[in-house]
Amino acid sequence: MNNIRRLATKTLLVSSCFVALFVSGFIGSVVAAKEPSPARSLSLQTANVTHILFGSCSHQDKAMPIFNAILQEPADGFIFLGDNIYGDTEDMQELAQKYKKLGQNPGVNALRSKVSVYAIWDDHDFGENDAGKQYSFKAESKKIMLDFWNVPEDSPRRSREDGIYGSYVISPTNVDIEEAGVSGSNAIRVILPDLRYMRDDLESVGLKRYQTERKHKDMGPYTYSKGSMLSEQQWQWIEIELQQPERIKIIGFSLQLIADFTGWESWANFTDRQRLFDLIKKHRVNGVFIISGDTHWGEISKFNTNMDYPLWDVTSSGLTEEWKQVSPNKHRVSGYTDEVNYGFFTVDWNLQDPSIHFGLKDLKGTVVMQQNITLSSLSPYQP
């Protein structure tokens, strides 16, 4: 940890988060794409509507009253997008103990007993603030993480040597996928990359420039890096995932993709962000939608530069963590919330052009920001 990162940790207490994505479907079931997934669901919903909920940054030492609201939501899945615990240790027994404490939280425990839960990690559950490929205990941390989240022993998430990334398909049970084919069904592919295991080093402006040029703007110390967020192998995996037939592809990133420019760790710092945009255009991929965490505030970003359709990025953070010095983001479209929040993504497949309702809700389950769009607005490419 360099001095700037110590500063970021100790002075500013901003930390990357693992956002939780809550994938739920009215009368929905979760169908494993690459690997099996927990087969529990809350079947409280109307036919042919899929509900996805998500969030990030849940500190295991804190009460989590926001789950009282989350548990009222009809849902058949919950995906934690990162900083699911604040591990921050090289002691693997301590890391495992912190996961155990998260699992003992009544809200988390109730959620896991009712719905399918998915998780990726961010820096703090990976093991160290803003850590990347240099973190010494990443293999050990990986096993503890996948064990806690009940990822099956035969999952490729366990066997890959460059991270914990994986994908899932969520499809209503009232659709015969065998007959309709996956592309003909109302399926959502949830793609969960790993932004930690192979991430190259961050670049910072240095302590002096941070203090004189950034801090008073509520910006972090990081600047552009020539490095990569992902291994080449994971990039190739994402390229294959994007070409799968589901009409909607939600990519859950532990860091913001679209926000620009906060000065904190995000995709905007890495030149290989453009590679994702290029892949979407190259393969004419409809229906890509981004959710993210990490920031300790919530916001919606929209990006349309040189794209054939807008890329939305809904950042939900955190489930327990809050940060009041909200950084600039030129792509923010709905203001921000600096209070605890969770995200929702609902698709009504009953319409010829399915409607999508997404946004953020607060501690009480009240909507704090929202957007309504149609699937056709994300689908410019003809087969």
Least separation in angstroms between CB 59 and Fe ion: 8
- Chain residues that interact with Fe ion, rule: CB under 5 A: 15, 17, 57, 83
Least separation in angstroms between CB 123 and Fe ion: 8
- Residue that is written with structure tokens 């169908």 in the block: 31
Cβ proximity to Fe ion: between 76 and 83 the closer is 83
Least separation in angstroms between CB 121 and Fe ion: 11
3-class SS at 30? Answer: strand
- 221 Cβ contact list (under 8 Å, min separation 6): 4, 7, 8, 204, 205, 206, 207, 209, 210, 214, 263
> Any long-range contacts for 106-112 (C-beta under 8 Å, 24+ apart)?
106/67, 107/64, 107/65, 107/66, 107/67, 107/68, 107/70, 107/71, 108/58, 108/64, 108/67, 110/67, 110/71, 111/67, 111/70, 111/71, 111/78
State the Cα angle at 29 between 25 and 32, rounded to 5°: 120
Cβ proximity to Fe ion: between 73 and 83 the closer is 83
| Element holding 335 (H helix, E strand) | strand 332-337
Least separation in angstroms between CB 216 and Fe ion: 23
Least separation in angstroms between CB 375 and Fe ion: 31
Least separation in angstroms between CB 319 and Fe ion: 9
Cβ proximity to Fe ion: between 6 and 226 the closer is 6
Q: How far apart are the first and last CA of the chain?
A: 48
Q: What is the CA radius of gyration of the chain?
A: 19
Cβ proximity to Fe ion: between 59 and 247 the closer is 59
Residue nearest to Fe ion (CB): 17
Give the CA-trace dihedral at 80, 85, 86, 90, to 10 degrees: -110
| Residue 72 burial by Cβ neighbours in a 10 Å radius (0-12, 13-18, 19+) | exposed
Least separation in angstroms between CB 184 and Fe ion: 39
Cβ proximity to Fe ion: between 27 and 255 the closer is 255
Identity of residue 328: P
With contact defined as beta carbons under 8 Å apart, do 104 and 84 qualify? no
